[in-house]
Amino acid sequence: MKKRLFSLTIFLLLIASVFVFRLNTESTPLDDKPIDEANLDHKEDKPAEIEVEKDYKPEEEDKEDLLTGTSFVDDEGKVIVKNTDDILVLVNKNRNLPSDYVPEDLVVPNVRFPFEEFHEKKQMRKEAAKALEELFKAAEEEGIYLFAISGYRSYERQKYLFDIRAERDGFEEANKLTAYPGQSEHQTGLAMDVSCQSLGFDLNEKFGQTVEGIWLKENAHRFGFIIRYEKDKVDITGYSYEPWHIRYVGKDAAKEIYEKNITLEEYLGDKTSIPVQK
């Protein structure tokens, strides 16, 4: 008897849920369309007729897909990126590279350095190195002499540099100006710090006002690079203005990022807020 009553309850529940489901679907004019198509329609016309959440922004929702599945949370609660070899890999104060990540295709680009001897920081990943050579060549053809200062940086070397600074200035202070190990774009092999002779090859904000810095800002995207840490984007990138730090993302992304004056975070649709720097 109990069993029959149970089956009857299940049956009634099923009927009720089908009824509710029909009610829901009938209330929207887009009932037969797959979700993606419905979103597209929504973007193009009359969003007011469709019931959506108040803060729903279709463009941002679409962008978010670019980061889907690119990270996981480790035992300590840290976000670790998985698409380490992707030229669009996003590494910042929220997204860490694995400590043992070393790009497999590091090479020394054939560009001007202010020093002769080999150093790991001369290296970049092959695709980025080739693009850097083209960028430097194009600059030189216009009488602009750029110097490559620092490219690839291993996790161990970043840790060494961070520890020195933290010991001298304290953790908070160090974290403002030096990336925490695993959080430096230099570990990707896709970034290069660039300077010029008039600054004594130093990396400082004045580079943004030199002819070399201005040329770099206006032309880097043509070769697939972006100025990664812009002056007015500190609250998004989490880093101070660094007109000398260029990051390879490929020509398509670089063009869009340059033209829209956005950050890599915005381009990829990353909405995680960066820890505020004081």
User: What is the set of active-site residues?
Assistant: 242
Q: Is 230 in the site for Zn ion (CB under 5 A)?
A: no
Nearer to Zn ion, 39 or 196 (CB): 196
Closest separation in Å from C-beta 227 to Zn ion = 11
Q: Is 245 in the site for Zn ion (CB under 5 A)?
A: yes
Helix segments in 58-199, DSSP class H = 58-64, 126-141, 155-169, 171-177
* Candidate ranges 88-96, 188-196, 219-227, 253-261; the one touching Zn ion (CB under 5 A): 188-196
Q: Is 247 in the site for Zn ion (CB under 5 A)?
A: no
Nearer to Zn ion, 39 or 254 (CB): 254
143 and 209 Cβ atoms separated by less than 8 Å: no
Q: Is 153 in the site for Zn ion (CB under 5 A)?
A: no
Nearer to Zn ion, 66 or 234 (CB): 234
128 and 248 Cβ atoms separated by less than 8 Å: yes
**Torsion-angle region of residue 46: left (phi > 0), alpha (psi -120 to 50) or beta?**
left
Q: Is 122 in the site for Zn ion (CB under 5 A)?
A: no
* Candidate ranges 35-43, 46-54, 239-247, 262-270; the one touching Zn ion (CB under 5 A): 239-247
CA atoms within 13 A on the CB side of 203: 18
Among residues 143, 120, 121, 148, the alpha carbon closest in space to that of 133 is found at 148
Three-state SS for 239?
A: coil
**Rg of the chain taking only CA atoms, in angstroms:** 25
Number of residues that bind Zn ion (CB under 5 A): 2
Tell me the two tokens of residue 225.
């690079």
Closest separation in Å from C-beta 97 to Zn ion = 15
Measured from each CB, the residue nearest to Zn ion is 245
For Zn ion, which residue of 39, 67, 111, 193 counts as binding (CB under 5 A)? 193
Nearer to Zn ion, 81 or 190 (CB): 190
What's the chain's length in residues? 278
Closest separation in Å from C-beta 245 to Zn ion = 4
112 and 122 Cβ atoms separated by less than 8 Å: no
Closest separation in Å from C-beta 179 to Zn ion = 8
265 and 210 Cβ atoms separated by less than 8 Å: no
Closest separation in Å from C-beta 229 to Zn ion = 8
* Candidate ranges 38-46, 94-102, 125-133, 242-250; the one touching Zn ion (CB under 5 A): 242-250
Nearer to Zn ion, 70 or 158 (CB): 158
Q: Is 233 in the site for Zn ion (CB under 5 A)?
A: no
Three-state SS for 255?
A: helix
Among residues 117, 121, 110, the alpha carbon closest in space to that of 191 is found at 121
Which stretches of the chain bind Zn ion, using CB under 5 A? Answer: 193, 245
